[in-house]
Amino acid sequence: MTESMIDATMAALAKEPALHGIHLTGGEATLDWKRLLYAIRSARRHDVAIDYLETNASWCADERTAHEGFLRLREAGLPAVLISVSLMSNEFIPLARVQTAIRAATEVFDHRGVTIWTPEVFHRMQMCLEPDRTHSIEESSKRLGFDYRGGELWHWHSYLIPAGRAVEQLAEGLPRHAAESFEGDACRRTLENTIHFHIDPFGNLSTSHCLGISVANVGNLHPTIDADRRPVYCQLAEGGPVWLWRGLADDFVPDPRGYVSKCHLCLELRKHLHATGRYDELRPDEYYRE
Ligand code: SF4
């Protein structure tokens, strides 16, 4: 997000009476410290409460770096952090960095300001993995006593939602269902759920876990949604991805292997529709790049 977009976002959120707090996330927000500190200060300036920053601890190479980093964040106004740890992130980030992050963050924010996501996974990883190196999912799951292709990876990381990149990267071995089997599974409640939402670097708002579908932005967080202007959203809200397929994408050929979830089918349909260039509610474009 540019600094002006950060300010526009905070200004828009400041006008939301029902908003309790926000979290800052990425990708990995610490990839750009200057911008991250700007965002924290902007939230304070606009009186928008920050709940926490999500980080994968990749930057916590040693105690001093970690301590100083968390101190800078706290001094800018950050009250808490969520440190994520998973077999997926351990493919790139050694456990030692997570351990360093947890120690340093606890010194700076106190234990009340540090959430490990998730403690059960972290605990078992500490028992079975080498802290100073990364492990492929194949290797780490083997060390933990399961085959990652059998669906147990999802059981382990029970917060994973079978949508987006997760179904593209982690669907091996999961049961699949014919596209038609999702008939009648409408998405209105999910799409209208604003308890958890995300705003992307361009100011587009996506509700719930439905990333890549945006009918609101920081310029107008409460648009009138009609089927003429937002056909994809309305088809999904009314009847789910099968309605979207029948209504807007009858040339879509479903994968004969089936889909692990309705959101998996939805993603493939949306990629198909995005390629036509006709639906600007399918944004940002970056989401749909292979
Ligand atoms: S099918 Fe699509 S619109 Fe429905 S909940 Fe899943 S991602 Fe959201």
How confident is the model over 179-191, as a mean pLDDT?
98
Alpha-carbon Rg for the chain in angstroms: 21
Task: Determine the residue type at 17.
Answer: P
Atom of ligand 1 nearest to the CA of 270: 2
- pLDDT for res 186: 98
Q: How far is the CA of 119 from the centre of ligand 1 (A)?
A: 28
**Residue-by-residue DSSP string for 143-179:** HTTS-GGGTHHHHHTTT--SSHHHHHHS-TT---B-G
Q: Is the CB of 191 under 6 A from ligand 1?
A: yes
Q: Is the pLDDT of residue 150 over 90?
A: no
- pLDDT for res 27: 86
Assign 57 a pLDDT band (cuts: 50, 70, 90).
very high
Strand boundaries in 32-142, DSSP class E: 50-55, 81-84, 114-117
Q: Is the pLDDT of residue 101 over 90?
A: yes
Q: How far is the CA of 86 from the centre of ligand 1 (A)?
A: 24
* 218 conformational bin, left if phi > 0, alpha if psi -120 to 50, beta if neither: alpha
The per-residue pLDDT for range 61-96, each reduced to its tens digit, is: 999 999 999 999 999 999 999 999 999 999 999 999
Q: How far is the CA of 55 from the centre of ligand 1 (A)?
A: 26
- pLDDT for res 149: 86
Output the CA–CA distances (angstroms, integers) from residue 61 to 75, 137, 154, in the order listed.
Answer: 21, 22, 29
Q: Is the CB of 260 under 6 A from ligand 1?
A: no
Residue nearest atom 1 of ligand 1, based on CA coordinates: 263
How confident is the model over 179-196, as a mean pLDDT?
97
How confident is the model over 182-198, as a mean pLDDT?
96
How confident is the model over 181-190, as a mean pLDDT?
98
- pLDDT for res 290: 78
Q: Is the CB of 190 under 6 A from ligand 1?
A: yes
| Domain positions in the chain | 3-160, 180-288
Q: How far is the CA of 263 from the centre of ligand 1 (A)?
A: 5
Q: Are 8 and 218 in contact (CB under 8 A)?
A: yes
The per-residue pLDDT for range 206-237, each reduced to its tens digit, is: 999 999 999 999 999 999 999 999 999 999 99
Query: Distance between CA atoms of 63 and 61, rounded to whole angstroms?
Result: 7
Highest mean pLDDT (candidates 26-30, 153-157, 229-233): 229-233
- pLDDT for res 124: 96
Atom of ligand 1 nearest to the CA of 213: 3
Q: Are 237 and 191 in contact (CB under 8 A)?
A: yes
* pLDDT, mean over the chain: 96
